[in-house]
Amino acid sequence: MADEAMEELIDTHCHLASKRYVSGTEVREQSRALGLSHCISQGTHPKDWDATLALTREMPDFVSACLAVHPSDCTEVDEEQWERMKELCRENPLAAIGEAGLDYYWDAPEGWEEDAYRARQRNFLERHFELARELQLNISLHTRDKVGAGDACFEDAFSIARQFPSVRPVFHCFIGSQRQAERVFEQLNGMISFTGLITFKKTEAVQAVAAWCPEDRFMVETDSPYLSPEPHRGELNIPGRVRYVAEKLAELRGVSLSEIARITSRNAHRFFRLPG
């Protein structure tokens, strides 16, 4: 299915160490058949940090790693585990710190008050930014709220990011407004990335942002194994299906798929400092 004339695509956010995948090498071959050249895999929990790094050693031409504590898991990670993650980040080549961020969508876990849970998330996010600054890496951000485009967690994450001007953030799985995107670009020198959500019906608002976005400020991703795009919605997602995200972007922007591949690959190489 890959178009030989098309520059190959980069999936800038996936979870290749997920136990939902039987074989990483099988996913690689399936994805390459769709035109994917590389993916950025996020290790977000103590249970998958080592597995994510192992994939980069097994398939260095295909996978680069990011490590972090997902905000939803912040109450499960103690100081010893946090220090171990920092050492892994210092000892291994990484594309960025991530996926870190704030998630106000889910209620606080049992035994935690909501305010304390959110405060712990914010503390962890600050520590992730400090680590990124130390290692001179950028950061992949998760923001999700109960209401609308995630105003509360976006504002909190934005406020923290402003304290670390040397660290560029990418707001992954972006579903915010054009004004939010403008603030990310103008005040944080940041990026946004689009997932298969832009292929779904009733996502006109984020489609409009995708059509408008300056070409040096966006990337494409799958968030696989989640968020499989149309025409595979509801199925197990793979990094190669970033092609369908790119095809929708090409349609929205009135350009060729090759042009979207060129733009997004260039942006991914710069943001994640990929070789080549």
pLDDT digits over 122-158, tens only?
999 999 999 999 999 999 999 999 875 558 999 999 9
Please indicate, yes or no, if residue 64 is contained in any of the structural domains: yes
Please indicate, yes or no, if residue 176 is contained in any of the structural domains: yes
CB burial readout 217-235, b (16+ within 10 A) else e:
bbbbbbbbbebbbbeeeee
Structural domains counted in the chain: 1
Judge contact between 224 and 241, C-beta under 8 A.
yes
Domain hosting residue 42, numbered range: 9-272
Please indicate, yes or no, if residue 187 is contained in any of the structural domains: yes
Please indicate, yes or no, if residue 124 is contained in any of the structural domains: yes
The one-letter code for the residue type at 31 is S
Tokens for 151, please give them.
């105003």
Please indicate, yes or no, if residue 242 is contained in any of the structural domains: yes
Please indicate, yes or no, if residue 4 is contained in any of the structural domains: no
pLDDT band at 71 (very low <50, low <70, confident <90, very high): very high
User: Exposed, middle or buried by CB within 10 Å (0-12, 13-18, 19+), for 273?
Assistant: middle
- For residue 35, what are the contacts with CB-CB under 8 A and spacing of at least 6? 1, 2, 3, 6, 8, 9, 240, 243, 261
Tokens for 160, please give them.
């923290």
Identify the pLDDT of residue 276: 72
Please indicate, yes or no, if residue 250 is contained in any of the structural domains: yes
pLDDT in tens, 197-222: 999 999 999 999 999 999 999 999 99
Residue 73 sits in a domain of what CATH number?
3.20.20.140
Please indicate, yes or no, if residue 1 is contained in any of the structural domains: no
The pTM of the full predicted model, rounded to 2 decimals, is 0.95
- Name the average pLDDT for the chain: 95
pLDDT band at 275 (very low <50, low <70, confident <90, very high): confident
**Alpha-carbon dihedral angle through residues 247, 252, 255, 258, given to the nearest 10 degrees:** -20
pLDDT in tens, 76-122: 999 999 999 999 999 999 999 999 999 999 999 999 999 999 999 99
pLDDT at 3 over 50: no
For the chain, how big is the Rg over CA atoms in Å? Answer: 17
